[in-house]
Amino acid sequence: MRSGDEMAICGLTDTLRDVLFSITRAHAGAACVIAPDGSYAGVITDGDVRRHLLADESLSAPACDVMTRGGTTIGSDALAVEGLRLMEERKIGDLPVLEEGRPVGVLMLKDVTQAGLV
């Protein structure tokens, strides 16, 4: 699981431009979007960004307009193989890990694959 600086996090009102920089800095494929109280609100994947840009080329849209609300998540007490199963079922590459409703990490399919769990 990636955590701390290795995960992309943004706020509801951050611009899409800020989100892209956060994803790029973390070498990730998605960013967790958090509410002002730090709770998990949703996720913005690189696919969400591409779909938004096809409809509206502006990078000034707020994260809350681009994100998938909620989305698939997993608890911090789950095993990596459970996360892998979920990612395979949902066909996703990044899985936010929550603890008490707050993002604490992201499980990435490429990391699980490199670790030899696949």
Closest CA to 63 of 82, 48, 81: 48
- Could you give the dihedral angle defined by the CA atoms of residues 110, 112, 114 and 115, in that order, rounded to the nearest 10 degrees? 170
pLDDT tens digits, 5-43: 899 999 999 999 999 999 999 998 899 999 999 999 999
Q: Quick one: average pLDDT of 53-62?
A: 89
| Residues contacting residue 2 through CB under 8 Å, at least 6 positions apart | 26, 28, 105, 106, 107, 108, 111
- In the chain, the domains with their CATH numbers are 4-114 (3.10.580.10)
pTM: 0.90
pLDDT tens digits, 71-113: 899 999 999 889 999 999 999 999 999 999 999 999 998 888 7
